[in-house]
DNA sequence: CTGAAAGCGCTTACAG
DNA sequence: CTGAAAGCGCTTACAG
């Protein structure tokens, strides 16, 4: 509610353009909106004045009059993660293409901050919200806060809400990774990393367990290791896995960062990734291809997901009564050195 | 200029709140803005109705009336780079704290796209612009386009413009890195990576040359190697450096990504980073601490830079006539394994 | 094809 | 302390 400072110079308005080109405001407005009602000569005259005066369309005023909005709130739980940064770029690109603009908010995985940011963004009357929610988001509370606002939820399901949802095909991705390791001869394969209470971790574990089961391999529950989805935690957590003698030869990691941390953990105890121990990741971050050995992983194309989220939201804005959608985006296995060559016992 | 769809339900306005609480619109407005003119009893009554009706303040309408703006355009050349993503988070945080919101645009280093994005964002009447410009931005053209709009330029100088500028202390950073390598006994030190026509590369090279000069070491011009500031290019470019026999023992790299690519290049030819060859980076991206050996680099705190940029801009908005500022943010040397132990010839 | 008038949701002097 | 009125920059029926 804090007021900002007014601009010094008076802004050029449709009025000024109308005066300068000798027509009414209404006509200028029609020209701006590309109406065919205006005579070509008149249009040309008006457009010349628009350029000459340096007129800038005031979309906020137009939106107020028409009770529309040309902005979309984009709330990202962790923008410092390249996956989400790429997603944000995709959203931004698609919105600009549709004449919209993204209002950016980042929450740093804090539910409180997320609420504050949402409150602030709501006052700018976005046409809708694209939300990559913070962990442990309170669904019903959020639902109450946002009312009938069009919302697309990305990546992480929010229990107790009825919004459009876009996510990766976590289950199939983990299944593909596991099948790949199985096909190389591995049997004692861990699933490593992620928080067991998050929907994406659960889905990936299901994919892993499904593949193990289908191959007739009994997965020891102790092969499911939880850890925060980042490199530091993962590196440390490898210790737990190797203190107990499980005889593991491979691991399906929750994501690339976990896999890269795991790799460091392997190297610390003298194991060579890809040779002594096989690994897979998830996300295909740029580094996956750059590291040595290069990381076998699942490509998820976050930029394209961003575009997709923007389109889903714009559709929802156009048709608020359409049935709620769950879109599961495909992922693609990218095989690289880290999963090694066929294993022969 | 494409119209969006109107919301279905009529929005709750100050009028509704006034009616429900039996006061005038003006009084509601005063309550919203926290004016002391309103009687405590009245205020309470109004606030109860605000909550009961679920009224949401329409900041766009208020801004229109007061001819102010509570948004800031944030244009980032490369959001997929964690450095800029962190910067964007810092900007966002500081803006939310000041009751403002960030309109996000990313350009992907394309000057054309940058112009399109700016044009689109300008129609939303931002209070000002924080611009991390694309390479080869045409200064005078941009200046003409943006007129007297408050602008803070980040990271990369735009020749031919007169805007506030925030950058890292590139010269001193490179100097510190070079001095560090010198202190370990290195003499044949390359400066590796970056585009020679970019201001930040020029500054870093100056810091490097200055330190070499001060140490009485003549830097061979062929030790200055250009390459795009990313890992892939850098890895390839190491070839050129080692094809010629320079007898180099260390390199100051343009940034961390270049250094990490360089490291891969070293390993490909059997050299051990930190043991056979010393390295430094610039930025202190999270990976710098995680890689093995950990990378000696310069910490630049991009999140804090974001906050700083937001504050600079808000000051500029408040006082458009204040003298133009050039703020050079300090950087801090972080010594890690990649620069190795003292060298004895 | 063009113009006069009303109104989007707010704030702000100005009276009372 | 509160209310009536004007106006921010636009668009949109409605006449002409």
Q: For residue A258, which of A275, A241, A276 has the smallest C-alpha distance?
A: A241
- Orientation of helix A14-21 relative to helix A40-53, angle to 10°: 120
Interface of A with B in 21-60 (CB under 8 A): 32-34, 54, 56-60
Q: What is the mean pLDDT of residues A245-256?
A: 92
Cβ contact (<8 Å) for B125 and A267? no
pLDDT digits (tens, 9 = 90+) for B20-34: 988 988 899 988 888
Distance of CA A52 to the CA centre of its chain: 42
Contacts of A82 in chain B (CB under 8 A): 80, 82, 85
pLDDT of residue B4: 40
Cβ contact (<8 Å) for A70 and B4? yes
Chain B touched by A5 (CB under 8 Å): yes
> Does residue B169 carry a pLDDT above 60?
yes
Q: pLDDT-based confidence at A80, cuts 50/70/90?
A: confident
pLDDT digits (tens, 9 = 90+) for A251-262: 999 999 999 999
pLDDT of residue A36: 82
**Class assignment of domain A14-57?**
mainly alpha
- Report the distance separating Cα B240 and Cα B251, nearest Å: 14
Q: For residue A133, which of A108, A164, A156 has the smallest C-alpha distance?
A: A156
Two tokens at B67? 């001819």
**Cα distance from A317 to chain B (closest Cα, Å)?**
7
Q: pLDDT-based confidence at A1, cuts 50/70/90?
A: very low
> Does residue B6 carry a pLDDT above 90?
no
Contacts of B232 in chain A (CB under 8 A): 290
Contacts of B147 in chain A (CB under 8 A): 54
Asked if A264 contacts B292 with a C-beta cutoff of 8 angstroms, the reply is: yes
**Cα distance from A280 to chain B (closest Cα, Å)?**
18
CATH 3.40.50.2300 is the classification of domain A71-168+302-329: yes
Contacts of B2 in chain A (CB under 8 A): 98-99
Q: What is the mean pLDDT of residues B4-26?
A: 76
CA→C1' distance for A57 and C8 (Å): 17
What helix, strand, coil percent values describe chain A, rounded to 5?
Answer: 45, 15, 40
Query: Who among B101, B104, B116 is closest to A88 (CB)?
Result: B104
Strand D nearby residues, CB < 7 A: A 10-11, 13-15, 25-26, 29-30, 32-33, 55-58, 61-62, 64-66; B 1, 3, 22-27, 30, 36-39, 42, 61, 64-65, 67
Chain A touched by B70 (CB under 8 Å): yes
CA→C1' distance for A68 and D7 (Å): 21
**Cα-trace Rg, chain A:** 26
Q: Which of residues 108-137 of A touch strand C (CB under 7 A)?
A: none
Q: Give me the residue spans of the domains in chain B.
A: 14-57, 71-168+303-328, 170-300+333-339
Q: Is the C-alpha dihedral spanning B241, A295, A182, A278 positive or negative?
A: positive
CATH fold of A170-300+333-339: Rossmann fold (3.40.50)
> Does residue B2 carry a pLDDT above 80?
no
- Report the distance separating Cα B241 and Cα B209, nearest Å: 18
pLDDT of residue A344: 58
Query: β-strand A101-106 against B101-106: which pairing, if any?
Result: antiparallel
Domains A14-57 and A71-168+302-329 share a fold: no
- Mean pLDDT highest for which of A33-37, A230-234, A340-344, B253-257? B253-257
Chain A touched by B260 (CB under 8 Å): yes
CA→C1' distance for A63 and C9 (Å): 11
pLDDT above 90 as % of chain B = 73
Asked if B125 contacts A104 with a C-beta cutoff of 8 angstroms, the reply is: no
Cβ contact (<8 Å) for B66 and A3? yes
Residue with tokens 């003119």: B37
Q: Is the C-alpha dihedral spanning A71, A75, A80, A84 positive or negative?
A: negative
pLDDT of residue A35: 82
Chain A touched by B92 (CB under 8 Å): yes
CA→C1' distance for B65 and D5 (Å): 15
Q: pLDDT-based confidence at A120, cuts 50/70/90?
A: very high
Contacts of B34 in chain A (CB under 8 A): 1
Average pLDDT, chain B: 91
pLDDT digits (tens, 9 = 90+) for B274-327: 999 999 999 998 889 888 899 999 999 999 999 999 999 999 999 999 999 999
Locate all alpha helices (DSSP H) within chain B, ordered by sequence.
14-21, 25-32, 40-53, 59-66, 82-97, 111-122, 139-146, 170-183, 199-214, 231-243, 256-268, 286-290, 302-318
**Cα distance from B190 to chain A (closest Cα, Å)?**
23
Chain A touched by B86 (CB under 8 Å): yes
Give the CATH architecture of domain B71-168+303-328.
3-Layer(aba) Sandwich (3.40)
pLDDT of residue B231: 85
- Report the distance separating Cα A333 and Cα A252, nearest Å: 12
pLDDT of residue B114: 96
Burial class (CB in 10 A: 0-12, 13-18, 19+), A129: buried
For A258, phi and psi rounded to 5 degrees? -60, -45
A38 touches strand C (CB under 7 A): yes
pLDDT digits (tens, 9 = 90+) for A47-61: 999 999 999 999 999
> Does residue A104 carry a pLDDT above 60?
yes
pLDDT of residue A9: 59
> Does residue A7 carry a pLDDT above 60?
no
Task: Find, in chain B, the residue whose alpha carbon is nearest to that of A316.
Answer: B5
Cβ contact (<8 Å) for B88 and A98? no
Asked if B190 contacts B241 with a C-beta cutoff of 8 angstroms, the reply is: yes
pLDDT of residue A273: 94
DSSP B243: H
Cβ contact (<8 Å) for A92 and B105? yes
Contacts of B273 in chain A (CB under 8 A): none
> Does residue B245 carry a pLDDT above 80?
no
Query: Who among B92, B261, B267 is closest to A105 (CB)?
Result: B92
> How many residues comprise chain A?
345
pLDDT of residue A116: 94
Q: pLDDT-based confidence at B341, cuts 50/70/90?
A: confident
**Cα distance from B249 to chain A (closest Cα, Å)?**
23
For A273, phi and psi rounded to 5 degrees? -60, 135
- Report the distance separating Cα A253 and Cα A299, nearest Å: 14
Q: What is the mean pLDDT of residues B74-101?
A: 93
- The CA–CA distances, whole Å, from B292 to A265, B213, B272, B278 equal 11, 31, 10, 13
Q: pLDDT-based confidence at B344, cuts 50/70/90?
A: low
pLDDT of residue A39: 87
pLDDT digits (tens, 9 = 90+) for B114-148: 999 999 999 999 999 999 999 899 999 999 999 88
Average pLDDT, chain A: 91
pLDDT digits (tens, 9 = 90+) for B216-243: 999 999 999 999 988 888 988 998 888 7
**Cα distance from A43 to chain B (closest Cα, Å)?**
16
> Does residue A185 carry a pLDDT above 90?
yes
Chain B touched by A148 (CB under 8 Å): yes
Size of interface A-B (CB pairs under 8 A): 191
H or E element, residue A180:
helix A170-183
pLDDT of residue A231: 85
**Cα distance from A152 to chain B (closest Cα, Å)?**
17
Chain A touched by B85 (CB under 8 Å): yes
Q: First CA to last CA across chain B, in angstroms?
A: 69
């Amino acid at each position: 509610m804090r007021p900002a400072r007014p601009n010094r110079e008076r802004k050029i308005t449709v009025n000024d353009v109308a005066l300068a080109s000798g027509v009414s405001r209404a006509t200028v407005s029609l020209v701006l909106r590309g109406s065919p009602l205006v005579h070509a000569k008149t249009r040309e005259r008006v457009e010349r004045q628009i350029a000459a005066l340096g007129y800038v369309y005031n979309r906020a005023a137009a939106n107020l009059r028409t009770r529309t909005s040309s902005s979309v709130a984009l709330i990202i739980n962790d923008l410092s993660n390249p996956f989400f940064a790429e997603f944000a770029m995709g959203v931004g690109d698609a919105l600009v293409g549709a004449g919209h603009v993204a209002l950016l908010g980042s929450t740093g995985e804090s539910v409180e901050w997320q609420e504050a940011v949402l409150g602030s963004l709501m006052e700018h009357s976005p046409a809708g919200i694209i939300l990559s929610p913070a962990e442990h988001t309170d669904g019903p509370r959020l639902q109450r806060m946002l009312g009938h606002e069009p919302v697309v939820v990305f990546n992480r399901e929010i229990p107790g809400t009825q919004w459009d949802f876009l996510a990766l095909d976590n289950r199939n991705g983990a299944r593909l990774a596991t099948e790949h390791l199985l096909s190389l001869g591995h049997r004692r394969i861990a699933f490593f990393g992620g928080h067991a209470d998050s929907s994406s971790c659960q889905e990936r574990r299901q994919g892993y367990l499904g593949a193990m089961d289908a191959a007739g391999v009994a997965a020891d529950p102790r092969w499911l290791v939880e850890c925060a989805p980042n490199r530091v935690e993962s590196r440390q957590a490898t210790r737990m896995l190797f203190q107990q003698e499980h005889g593991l030869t491979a691991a399906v990691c929750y994501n690339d960062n976990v896999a890269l941390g795991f790799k460091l953990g392997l190297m610390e105890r003298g194991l060579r990734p890809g040779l002594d121990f096989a690994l897979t990741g998830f996300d295909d971050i740029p580094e996956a291809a750059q590291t040595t050995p290069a990381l076998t992983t699942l490509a998820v194309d976050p930029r394209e997901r961003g575009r997709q989220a923007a389109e889903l939201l714009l559709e929802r804005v156009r048709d608020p009564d359409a049935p709620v959608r769950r879109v599961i985006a495909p992922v693609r296995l990218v095989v690289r050195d880290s999963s090694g060559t066929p294993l022969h016992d």
